[in-house]
Amino acid sequence: MGRRVHPVAEEDDMADPKWGNCKSCKYFSSKSANPGDTELAKCVQPELSAYELSVSGSSGCNAYEARVAAGEAYEAPSPAVH
Ligand code: SF4
């Protein structure tokens, strides 16, 4: 059985270490590089996408996964050339 996911009001579940805001979640389908609190977008989290949720940037849940900004992608160091 999969993980139980429950979108809730921020004040109810902020103690959950996996909880985060939609605006910084990789499943928030915003086209903006830096979504705001009032922006609305679909949640495309695999377990939630069937519900076709439209969430605001200030919403959140315990299925949160941090998005990686374009400039923050991990890049392995180049091998040294001698
Ligand atoms: S997975 Fe949760 S935190 Fe992420 S966009 Fe969907 S509702 Fe928001």
68 pLDDT more than 90: no
61 pLDDT more than 90: yes
Candidate from 8, 28, 29, 51 with most ligand 1 atoms within 8 A of CB, to mutate? 28
30 pLDDT more than 90: yes
Q: Kindly list the domain boundaries of the chain, sorted by start residue.
A: 10-67
Q: For residue 50, what pLDDT is reported? A: 95
Return the residue whose CA atom lies nearest to atom 8 of ligand 1. 22
pLDDT tens for each residue of 3-27: 666 555 555 556 778 999 999 999 9
Any atom of ligand 1 within 6 Å of the Cβ of 41? no
Find the angle CA(24)-CA(71)-CA(47) to the nearest 5 degrees: 35
- pTM, 2 dp: 0.71
